[in-house]
Amino acid sequence: MSKRQRIIWLGLWCGLAVAGVAHAGLPAPLEQAISQLKTTDAMARQRLLNETESALKSGVSELAVSRLAELAVRQNYSVAEVADFVNRIVELKRNALPPELVLDKIQEGMAKRVPASAILHVASLWSAALAQSEGDVERMEKNSQTRIGPAQKTALVDAGATLQQVYGIHGALATLENYVEVRGHIERNTDSMIAAARLAETLLLYGAPPDQVFALSGASLQANYSAQQIQDMQRSVLNQLEHGRPVADIIVAQRNQFAGMAPASPMQGTAPGFNKGVAPGGFPVTGSGYAGTQSGFGGPPGGGMSGGAKPGGFVPGGLGSGFSGMSGRGMPGGGSMGH
């Protein structure tokens, strides 16, 4: 064997050894899923392996990463693109932000064969919304000098980000906090605030004006309704909507229940931060959205892909809305959001 051949062989052996070390730390099913991604770019593959190991160490589930790899094989995404997707999830975990909503967006975009650059753009928008919502929750904790439990905090952060990113409403959590009767004890009202946020999502999904939506959700908090009572109200609202009753009539009837119980709305008639120039999902109505593209970011109410699911899936797209919406984790108001 010539000197040049030995150098080439040594280089190949070292490359295989490095890849072997990276593979050694991965569960067998996940390693198999990643191995299905065909590439001649050794550096890209090694980066994906590194990002995958980081994801698992940060607490991302093996199933979630396997799902990305399987979608990438089916929809012809490159190894480098999958590495970018996994990196976005790892960054969220590093910043102590719940990654589930962004992961849902990435998976939905891949399922619809949306270009990777557009998926990453939408993921960035949702990541920013989560960071802002996390800041709102931390401010609430600081003001009340209490710590909200991890599951409740995740639910609140997800709810605030969804209201911002899907409906263009900034500061929704602060608005709901203003309706809480017992200030300084936010931990007592956390579950009710989560339920009120989900009630707001349901009403907004059916086209109710934001000021009326938050007036009703806020009235339930001012009346010291429990989370279960608000969830019951939400189910009643959904039932009436499914039977064709106009959402405006439902809101009026529900608010009449609180007549004399709740003081005037702290919003003074408008939802804070509501941007009428932004379509659901946070994309401008004109210009830079993705409406009308072949890949289709939106879809009918529910489900996120095609088909008609009940509220709790992805909300309507169109209007350049990206593939925006709630993650399909159950009917709004029912159970825990996100885990």
- The tens digit of pLDDT for each residue in 265-282 reads 444 333 444 443 333 433
Residue 164: give the domain boundaries: 151-339
The answer to whether the CB of 51 falls within 8 A of the CB of 87 is yes
Look at the chain and report how many structural domains it folds into: 1
Average pLDDT on 311-325 reads 35
Residue 232: pLDDT band (50, 70, 90) is very high
Among 173-177, 221-225, 323-327, whose mean pLDDT is lowest?
Answer: 323-327
Per the domain annotation, does 266 fall within a domain? yes
Mean pLDDT of all residues belonging to the chain: 74
The answer to whether the CB of 97 falls within 8 A of the CB of 131 is yes
What percentage of residues in the chain have a pLDDT greater than 70? 67
d(CA 244, CA 253): 15
Per the domain annotation, does 287 fall within a domain? yes
Listed in sequence order, the residues at least 6 apart from 12 whose beta carbon sits closer than 8 Å to its beta carbon are none
Helix-, strand-, coil-residue percentages of the chain, each rounded to 5:
60, 0, 40
Per the domain annotation, does 104 fall within a domain? no
Per the domain annotation, does 166 fall within a domain? yes
Q: What residues form DSSP beta bridges with 271?
A: none
Return the pLDDT at 187.
57
Q: When comparing pLDDT for 200 and 12, which is higher? A: 200
Per the domain annotation, does 81 fall within a domain? no
Q: When comparing pLDDT for 179 and 290, which is higher? A: 179
Phi, psi of 313 (to 5 degrees): -90, -160
Does this model's pTM top 0.85? My answer is no
Return the pLDDT at 35.
81
Per the domain annotation, does 296 fall within a domain? yes
Q: Report pLDDT digits (tens) over 92-131.
A: 999 999 999 999 999 999 999 999 999 999 999 999 999 9
Per the domain annotation, does 29 fall within a domain? no
Per the domain annotation, does 255 fall within a domain? yes
Phi, psi of 311 (to 5 degrees): -50, 140
Q: Report pLDDT digits (tens) over 163-221.
A: 999 999 998 998 898 887 555 455 568 899 999 999 999 999 999 999 999 999 999 99
Return the pLDDT at 100.
93
For CA atoms 191, 192, 195, 197, the dihedral sign is negative
